[in-house]
A and B are shown apart, each in its own frame.
Chain A
Amino acid sequence: MSAKDAFVASAVGTPVERIEDLRLLRGKGEYVDDLHPPGLLHAAFLRSSVAHGVIRSIDTSAALKMPGVHGVFTSEDIARGSGGKVPVVSLRLAPLPELEPFGQPVIATGRVRYVGEPLAVVLADSAGQAEDALEVIEVDIDPLDPVPDRHASARNAPMLFEHLGRNCPITYTAAKGDTDAAFKRAPYARKETFRTQRHSAVCMEPRGVMAVWDGPGTKMTVSGAAKVPFSTRKILARHMDLPEECVDLIEGDVGGGFGVRGEFYCEDFLIPFAARKLNRPVKWIEDRRENLLTSNHSREIDMELEIACEKDGTIIGLRGQAWVDAGAYLRTSAAVPPRNVAQFCSGPYRIPNIHIESSVMLTNKNPIGTYRGPGRFEGDFFRERLIDMAAGDLGLDRVEMRRRNLPTDADMPYPLATLNNPEKKEELDSGDYNLTLDRCLAEFKWAEKAPLQGKQLPDGRYQGIAIGCFIEGGAAGPRENARMVIDNDGFVSVFVGSTSIGQGLETVCIQIASDALGVGMDRIRFYHGSTTYLKEGFGSYHSRSVVMGGSAILDAAANLKAEIRKKAAGKLGCTPDQVTVGAGLAASHSGRTLSLAELGGAGLSSEGTFANHHHTYAYGAAAAHVAVDPRTGKVELLEYVTVEDVGRIINPLTTVGQAVGAVVQGLGGTFMEHLQYDENGQFLTGSLADYLLPTSTDFPNIKAIVLENSPSPHNPLGAKGAGEGGIVPVGGLLANAVANALSSLGVQPRELPLSPPKIWSLIHQRST
């Protein structure tokens, strides 16, 4: 970008009302189930009702005779149609050859390993007819002993994959310094065991896939893509034995992602397979039971964690072992929660010596994947609980203990523990972490509330407060790409590889493009996500879409201006670098200006890319005030304040909106959400009456403040990934607030969720 037409922020940083709202508010969004191509068939899945067993037979003959049924496919049919082998879904992120065999066959083959695993898919004229036909499929499964939890998993009897010889595919290590030496010399240490429960995103729009096959040599077009369409295309093309360019993934409106949606699932193969086999468009829309049962689960981690401190609260060591209940198979994003809980267990704090091991434990449950703040929500719960316990033991103020260990500008970049296999080094990029702590204390009025700790309200409820600090990683590489074209009407079309999962990408990227081009937001058309727009794209995960896509847009804008300069130079009688590109992409030199139309700019185009191997770290602090009823164990959240520095705010409306939303989602995971199985691996929470989500009456008093004191040095926007941070500290913070409220009763929560029965039991255990 030439200095003459440097980036001027006029749209960026302002609370622009969202462009996507205009269609979404009118009911004119286009989600995958809104598509109705002619000749459409509907799919329904027969899923295993047995957690662990050997498939003896599946008889589909009666189903094939049911009205409206066009096909029923089982593992045998899939193998026959896929060169004799059933394709396997394995790791997309942090793959290792030794983990591949733990992947999931796209349809149960020989064995079933969790309740909900697909056994057969029925294709019919209507979804109702397809579901009717499921009823008459006869399945014979010999049950095996299930592996219901990580303890049973560790016994290796039974094993989910006997031929692989173990239920623990891998143990990751995150380390720095000399932890043993630190603990040996430490004047204070404490070890605790904690647990976070299985829960997940539960997006409002269930997953959906629609595939249209145009015949050999043409296209397989799959709608319903989200998060990572280019990656999904690559996997699908490989499994379908098609060239990548013959597969397109189309992203429409998407009803929430939160990490779970858009990964490659069994259905992402089976629906295109059926469409090709039957040569008809096929659609499948997950129902809510399937969503709870089969969309990626997350968060079920046990951890033994030990902290070593000086007497003044300086943390000198952190060591521990995490056991991640990973479910039955390792699918695309399964490695991320176990890796993250190891690497980010230290959170925002300066800790010189760390050794954390994190073991992936297979069980007969639905496979896990990433969910907003993966491994971080869990790690924060473990660490923040332990810090409060240590502060209590050492007689230190909880705020001062945190402050003593937070990094400042002088510490940056600050290295975190290095993760092994594959190796991943991380460092905090920028910021004075005390800034958000201080701001949070001030907004929360900590000093005023401090006297309330442990005090009872007139109704007998105990009050407690707590504060916690957190980081949020963002901006995963390796690259993102953008493309721009000047249309015949003078509008600029902008294409980017980032995807929209409902976070407001369209508006935010148009803001960035508008400033970078000097073109009004209303003269920009924006296209994202689908594989039809760019040669290569990466998508939206790890809080990367704006940092990476936005930076690629800046590069494409600079390149588009270079094209304009080149073209204008001839007409203005100067060299390209003498041309100034101003508002509306008008080109001028020594008093002469050519508008875009006069220049004949239509058709000019550019590409842009942004490569990055440094992650951004937004950082923050959050505080909570609770009242706990000792008679019922019910916790009321009286007030919650979260403060996060995201480096650069593109749109305050969306940034603050996502912060508040993330907090409430985290409060769900802290107080109510729990995907439960019994000891036989039977799933117990298959409806929204069993799996409780926060509603509008639960948490009315939440304030989010977003700051931009510490731009990231790693991208031209200075932006840091945002949108996940709000959720990260919630569990630890609320557990600490409850412990603070009930300190006179000696209650120390070590497990989530903080449900009334659990709190009541903790009170009861202590008083008997």
Chain B
Amino acid sequence: MQSPVSTKFELNGKAVEAKVPARTTLADCLRHHFMQTGTHVGCEHGVCGACTVIVDGAAVRSCLMLAVQAEGSKVTTVEGLSNADHLSALQTEFRKHHALQCGFCTPGMLTTAHALLTDEPDADRERIREVLSGNICRCTGYIPIVEAVYSARAAYRKNAKPEAGQ
């Protein structure tokens, strides 16, 4: 059987270490080892995007990545997008536009959109749609999600005040 392997990385700004079987996915490690259950597992084959987390600035599917591959990386999950007092600008727009219903795909939508707007704060609706097309939502029909992300762009532009939790 597999003996546990150690992996160290930065999770939402804190240095962490896990000893997990080598085959443990990053998603399972986050959820079941660090109890950061905001990252959701929807398909375990890299299609639905619910498990998306930000690794060194890139939106990645944590179900397709092993925990040990996160060694030395900076990992941000939905829990790291805001602090306890305030929703981030992106989260606020999601709420305002009713861009979530059951909330299961939402963490992946938020992390994907956060990574996008961090790199491309001027992304137009078409670009937003294109990038979000890797995340499946069964409730909203996507229209309010696209509008929410579009409306959050200002907060990501250079002169914008830093977001909560950043």
Contacts and interface: CB of A to CB of B under 8 A. Distances in A.
B95 interface: yes
A501 B101 CA distance: 9
A689 B47 contact: yes
Contacts of B100: 21, 24-25
B101 A658 contact: yes
Contacts of A535: none
A695 B133 contact: yes
Interface in A177-219: 201-206
Contacts of A10: none
B44 to A, nearest CB: 6
Interface residues of A, number: 57
B16 to A, nearest CB: 16
Contact of A204 (B23, B77, B105, B143): B105
Main secondary structure of the interface of B (DSSP, over half): loop
A654 B134 CA distance: 25
A693 B140 CA distance: 13
B101 A696 contact: no
A258 interface: yes
Interface residues on B, range: 35 or more
B98 A503 contact: no
B43 A17 contact: no
Contacts of B32: 36
Interface in B128-153: 128-130, 132-146
B94 interface: yes
Contacts of B78: 25-27
Contacts of A713: none
B29 interface: no
Contact of B140 (A17, A21, A657): A657
Nearest to B87: A25
Nearest to B94: A25
B106 interface: yes
B41 interface: yes
A203 B102 CA distance: 9
Contact of A657 (B38, B44, B128, B144): B144
Nearest to A693: B136
Binding site secondary structure of chain A: loop
A252 to B, nearest CB: 11
A67 interface: yes
B1 interface: yes
Contacts of B38: 26-29
Interface string B99-143: 011111111001000000000000001001110111111111111
A21 B1 CA distance: 42
B45 A33 contact: no
Contacts of B102: 203-205, 253-256, 501-503
A699 B136 CA distance: 13
B36 interface: yes
A660 B43 contact: no
A284 to B, nearest CB: 14
A450 interface: no
Given A26-B38, A27-B78, A287 B44 contact: yes
Interface string A406-436: 0000000000000000000000000000000
A24 B103 contact: yes
A660 B144 CA distance: 9
Interface in A367-405: none
7 smallest CB-CB distances across A and B, nearest first, come from A27-B38, A502-B102, A255-B104, A24-B103, A664-B141, A27-B78, A34-B37
15 contacts: A21-B95, A25-B95, A25-B106, A27-B107, A203-B104, A204-B50, A204-B137, A254-B102, A256-B102, A288-B48, A658-B139, A688-B47, A689-B47, A696-B133, A696-B145
Interface of B: 1, 21, 23, 31-32, 35-45, 47-48, 50, 77-79, 81-82, 87, 91, 94-96, 98, 100-107, 110, 125, 128-130, 132-146
